[in-house]
Structure formats: C-alpha cells, structure tokens
Structure 1
Amino acid sequence: MATRRGFIGSASGISTAALLGYSASPSAADTPLTDTTSAATASVTQQQAKDSIFAVNAGMRSNYATLKAELVKHLSPVIVVQNDAKGGRFTLVTANGQESVNPVAETFELAKSIAHVPLGCFSVIASYLADKIPNLPNADRIDPHDLLLVAFNDDKSTAWIEPLQAYAATLTTARKNLPAAGLPAALTTSCGNILDAALKFINASVQAKVFDMKSFEDFSASVYPDIRVNMEHAAQAQIKGVQDTMKAWRAKVGEAAWADLYCVVLSQWTTSVLNQNTIIIKDCMNAAKVATHLIDLPGLETPKDPIFTALDNLVRIVQDNIAAEMVFPKDTKVADALKGKEDLLSDEILIQLGGSAATTQSSPTYNTLSEGMCPVRK
C-alpha cells in the first residue's frame, strides 16, 4: 500500500490540493514574507502557534462528530447482534423504530450449560495446579510461563475442596432433575454422562485431597464425545432460530431494503473470528455486500448500551467509506486504508522501522474465506 509520504511526495512539485483534485489559493508558505507578516509572527508565542495548529484537528473532530450524530439517524435497515448465553439478542433497526428478540430455543443454552461442566471444574482447581507440566500428550502446547501465572496458589493447599464440593452440589441437583427437563433423548444421555463423570472426578479428588493435570485431563477427555453431542444440539437450535428470524425480518423490510442491510455483530475478542452468529447470518444477506455490510465488532466486555455502540461504530464506517474516496480520489490503496482497519501511518512506520510496507495478514474471518469453503473442519 502506498504511504502518505510516498503518495503526496509523488506530486513532483504539484501542490497537495491539486493532486487531490482541488484548487486552492496560495498558502502562507507560498507568499513572500513581508515586514507586516514578520511582525505579526513575532508577536505570537511558540505555544500559541502550536495551539492554533492543534485547533485545526479539533475543528475536524468537531465537524466529524456533527456529521456522525446526524448520519446515525438515517441508518436503516440495520441488525445488531449481541452474543450472549442464550444464543444472541437480535435487534432490527429501521426508520420506524427498533424491535428485539432472542430467537434461539432454550435447547441451545441448556446443552451449552452442561458442556461447560469441565470448564467449571477447571476454574476451581486451576490456581492450585502444580506449576510443572507433566507428561501429557499435549505437553508441548502448554506455555510454562502461562501455567505459572494460572497456578498461583500453593499446590499443597486443600483450599480448593470446599468450592469444588459446592459446585458438586449444583451438579448433583442438575443430574437428579435432568430427566424432567424434556430434552431430546440423545442430549439427555450426553448431559447425564458429563455430569456423572464430573461428580466421579470431584469425589475422587476430594477423597484423596489431591488432584493433578493428568487426572483432570483424563476426566475431560472421557466426556469429549458427549460434549460434541451437546454442541450438535446447540448448533441446530441456533441455526434454526437465527434463520427463522432473518427470514421474517426480510419479509418485513422488503427485498429492496434488505439488499442494503447492514449487520453488526458484537462479540468478545475470544469469539470474534468465525463467530457463530456471523457464520449463520452471512447466508441470509445479499451475497454481493456481505464483505462490506457484515461487520464483526469485537470488544472486551458487553458495552453498557450495545445498540448505541453498534450504530456509533457503523456510522463511522459508513461515512469513512465515502470520505475515503473523496479525500483520496487518486490513490485507491490509501483510500482503502481509510475505509478499512489499517492506520494510514502503518506502512510508513513499517518502512522507518526497517520492515516491509506490505500489509500483514490478520486472522481470517468468515467474511474473507473462499466462497463455498466450509469454515469448520471435521
């Protein structure tokens, strides 16, 4: 990608304004210095001069914010997705207002709840693990430093027993009530297997007053086939719920409006690549615009006002898309940087640090996978 310096420097004496396609009056730099201007400059302190320059950017930001605040009122139609434990909360934003639904059946949350049991046990015992990696099949994949950070408690301590027993009581109640939950037969069986194995691991560990990574991995590995069954049922529930909702909303807004639909998916960073809702939504949108209109917006935690956050970020994207082509009409690569996730200075910094100006590939998202490629490998 061309850098700003390379882009502007290639003008070979042509003014920047002319290069961008505009005409401009002679600047102060092109005007001979007279006694009057020299005297005026002499009366300005260095800080005042700097402040006047800072004011230029402050004025830009003010104008940008004003445009953004007005433009956000015209965003329509937009679907905002908040990923949550229930499979996602979907909000349709149109000129007529907003409506929100949780479209995924309870099977999704129930199946995932039991699938999370090994993680629940791990979260109790993790800080009491010995900080030495035992002879495990995946030992080379465990970072010794990270293990040391997680295993911050004394591995000889038994302080983990009480919280693990408390979790066992929760698992015992769930196991007792499982048949009454009305789950599909296969899901009931897999949930029962996971709960039984967890209780066996907990009881053995409490009785011996000791555990290690090997005993925990033996437990977690033993229930993996059952976890896959739970994942299958959760995925089926999510796909059906999301697709049904998208179909209903498509009929509501009409084909013409749906063709320009924006979808913003809010997620945590840890689930922002191949996000489950993004994968499902992709096939419900106008295929020609998925790459630009389906936006994954990862964050650290769920924002206090998810809808505002989504629309505020979307409006930045929309107005930057137009600004990019008009501010940089003669260099599409620089325009693409303004439109995308790159910082305009990134290539220049790479050059000055002795690196390459080539854009580095980030982790692939579903939007950038080859058409027809399945993102999940069995």
Structure 2
Amino acid sequence: MSTDPLWPFEDGDTFRAAENFHQMTKDALTGPCAHRGGADAALHESIVDIHRFGRVEYAQNIRKVGRNVYPLIIARDNEPDQDRGDIGRQGLGGIFTLYLANGESRTIQPTPAAYERLKCLSHIPLGLFTILSPYFGDAQAQGWMAKAKVMATKVQEARRRLTEDAFDAREQRIATVILKRSYNYINRILSDVRCTREGFEVYAASIRAEIRDAMDYAAELQMDACMEALGAWRDELGPAEWRKLHVVVTTIWPVSEHSPRWQLFRTLMDPETVDTHLIVGEGVKSVEEARDLLGRIVADRLASRLIVGIDDERGRRMTQCLSSRTDVVADSAYRALQRRQSGECPFAPPKRAEAG
C-alpha cells in the first residue's frame, strides 16, 4: 500500500452547477432532444427526407452524366488545376482539354509567350492603381511608398533587360513606352512623397494608346494561335463528331460575356448545335466542377422533357428554363408578384385611401 498522500478531490464548478438540472422536469429536458417533433413535424420531415434522398442520387447521377458526354472541350483561362503555386500568373490565353469517348484526353495551350507579356504590360497601371488608390483621399499618406518602390524596382529590371531587338517592332514599341513612362511616374511620386488621383490619371493617359495596342495585338496572337490549334482538332474529329461537341468555358462574372474563348467556339462550332452545346460556367473552379455542371445541364434537359413536357406553352417555357440560365420558377414568381401588386394576393398590404 502506498504511503504517498492522495491529491484532494474537489467538485468542479460545472459539476456543482449541474445540480440545477435536478429541478428541471423530464418534459423540459425532452423538448430539445425530440427534434423530430410531433406528428405534423414528422410528416414534414418525411416529405423532406424523400427530397434529401433524391438529391443525393441526383448529385451522383449528374457527376456520371458529365463524364459520359463526348467529345468535350473544357476551355480554361488559367494554369492547370494541379499547378496553382504561381497564383499571380493567370490568363494565359486559353488552356483547352479535349475528352474523347475512348478515354483519351489532350491539353493544349496554343498562345505564344508574347500574349502573356502584352497582357502583363497592359496590367502595370492596374497594379499601380491597386497600390495607390486607397490613399487618393489623403495627401499626407505615405503607406503606399514601400510597395511603389518594389514596383519601381521590378519595372526597372524589365527595362534593363529590354534590348533593342528583344521583340518584334510592335511589341518592342509597346514595352518601351509602358515601362519607361511607368518607371518615370513612380519615381516622380516617390520624389514628391505624394500620390493623387489626378496625377495617376495623367500617367495612365500617357500610355493609354499603348495599352489599347497591347490588347489588340494580344487578341490577334490569341485568335490566330487558338483558331489554328482548335481547327486541327475539328479536322481530326470530322464533321459528325464535331457536331456532337460540347464545350464548357469556365469563367467568372466580370468577364463571362463574349470572352475570347466563347468567341472562338462561337466561330468554330457547328451552327446547329452551338446554342445548346456551348456553355459558360461562371464560378467554376476546376475541370471536375465543369464536368459536373455539364452533367447537370444535359441530365436536366431530358428530365424536363419527360417530367414537364413540351405539349403546351407552360411546359415549353419550363423545359427552356432547365436548359438555360433562367430559373424554372421565374414565371411563377413573376405571376405571384403581379397578383400581389394588383391586390389579388391575400397577403397583399391594404391599399391606402386617397386623401379626399
């Protein structure tokens, strides 16, 4: 037997406080635990449970459908999903992955390096705007100076490496003007210890023509390279397979309309199928999400045809909703608002009496 003294046992605060539960009735304790509720709640839950089960099956189904659509091209505008370490390097003019029914897939990035350089050059004033604009309202601020110095160093490094014959004449002129005037502007505001919105606008105006030319030249390089590469895929697949082609263009809302990739496929795809087979996926972050989205769209087209039908105008509109970006309840919601506004809705607020 040990002769060492035993540590003193003392009840904890939470244990002592729990004594209050002895005063509570079992009914009071039961309420939160019986989350299934009474008969009415149980009926509601049983109906919801049917939907919950169906949604799980739906998610699994659209995933499989999305991987059973061939040929398929997913057109992205960023680095491959497995290599996102260089997070600032986005917008490479189009990365296209072709999926074929035999399990083969191919990925190409047709645009030349000049495309990326021109895009980066045209973004220099945007980078400066991001650094400086938070301080446009405070003439005494100096919080922008450290980052402006870093930007000046990077711009000067690019200028140092820009030899007379580095690029073709058009890109050479664009790069020379943008880099020189950007460097001079940064040095000027650092020397003045002051940045203003008006001064930034004068700087931006001084390179506006070069920015526009950079955009035009980059677009020319992009369209030429991508049209040639995608045209080769079209020729390889042949008219019958190309007519079946689905394309998902992954994007974000600010650049989702008339993107260069959308315009490419609008030009290249079969005119009879392009309206239904060219899909713009906003907020889609990966190839897998793109294929899930495609599976949902393709599956919903058959589901709507079978469930709501196209035998009358209402059915046709609903099937169009499920094949487009329009919500399937759009018409119902609008009619409900019309009833409410006209006073037909029983929950509409009473109309005010006119002053007599």
TM-score, length basis structure 1: 0.72
Q: Encode CA deviations 1:67-118: one digit per residue, 9 max, x unaligned.
A: 3243233210000011132112110011122111111111100111111111
Structure 2 counterpart of 1:67, from 58, 61, 66? 61
In structure 2, distance between residues paired with 1:123 and 1:181: 32
> What root-mean-square deviation, in Å, do the aligned CA atoms of Structure 1 and Structure 2 show?
2.0
Give runs of aligned pairs for residues 189-204 of structure 1, distance below 5 A. 189-204=173-188
- Among all aligned residue pairs of Structure 1 and Structure 2, give the percentage whose two residues are the same amino acid: 26
Bigger CA drift: 217-226 or 55-64?
55-64
Structure 2 counterpart of 1:323, from 291, 300, 303? 303
**Residue type at the aligned position of 2:54:** M
Q: Is the 8 A contact 2:139 2:195 kept in 1?
A: no
TM-superposed CA distance for 1:355, in Å, is 8.3
Q: Is the 8 A contact 1:124 1:164 kept in 2?
A: yes
Counterpart in 2 of 1:173?
Answer: 157
Q: Is the 8 A contact 1:107 1:233 kept in 2?
A: no
Give runs of aligned pairs for residues 346-365 of structure 1, distance below 5 A. 346-354=330-338
In structure 1, distance between residues paired with 2:190 and 2:334: 55
Structure 1 counterpart of 2:41, from 47, 52, 72? 47
CA separation of 1:155 and 1:53: change in aligned 2, threshold 3 A: farther
Q: Does 1:336 align with 2:323?
A: no
In structure 2, distance between residues paired with 1:356 and 1:228: 50
SS at match of 2:325: coil
In the alignment, structure 2 segments of 5+ residues that lack a partner are 1-37, 79-90, 342-356
**Residue type at the aligned position of 1:352:** A
Counterpart in 2 of 1:289?
Answer: 273
Counterpart in 2 of 1:373?
Answer: none
Q: Which has the higher contact order (CA 8 A, sep 6+)?
A: 1
Q: Does 1:235 align with 2:241?
A: no
SS at match of 1:76: coil
CA separation of 1:347 and 1:355: change in aligned 2, threshold 3 A: farther
SS at match of 1:254: helix
**Residue type at the aligned position of 1:123:** T
In structure 2, distance between residues paired with 1:327 and 1:124: 54
Q: Does 1:312 align with 2:296?
A: no
Give runs of aligned pairs for residues 67-106 of structure 1, distance below 5 A. 67-84=61-78, 85-96=91-102, 97-106=104-113
Q: Encode CA deviations 1:320-362: one digit per residue, 9 max, x unaligned.
A: 11111111113211221222222222232233334899xxxxx
SS at match of 1:100: strand
CA separation of 1:201 and 1:352: change in aligned 2, threshold 3 A: same
Q: Encode CA deviations 1:146-172: one digit per residue, 9 max, x unaligned.
A: xxxxxxxx5421121121011001000
SS at match of 2:106: strand
In the alignment, structure 1 segments of 5+ residues that lack a partner are 1-43, 131-153, 358-378
SS at match of 1:249: helix
In structure 1, distance between residues paired with 2:161 and 2:252: 32
**Residue type at the aligned position of 1:210:** R
Q: Is the 8 A contact 1:175 1:192 kept in 2?
A: yes
In structure 1, distance between residues paired with 2:215 and 2:223: 12
In structure 1, distance between residues paired with 2:164 and 2:298: 50
- How many residues get paired? 287
SS at match of 2:70: coil
Counterpart in 2 of 1:252?
Answer: 236
Counterpart in 1 of 2:5?
Answer: none
Q: Encode CA deviations 1:205-249: one digit per residue, 9 max, x unaligned.
A: 111111211110011011111112211221111111211121121
Larger Rg: 1 or 2? Answer: 2
Q: Is the 8 A contact 2:131 2:147 kept in 1?
A: yes
CA separation of 1:114 and 1:69: change in aligned 2, threshold 3 A: closer
In structure 2, distance between residues paired with 1:343 and 1:53: 23
TM-score, length basis structure 2: 0.76
Counterpart in 2 of 1:184?
Answer: 168
In structure 1, distance between residues paired with 2:212 and 2:96: 26
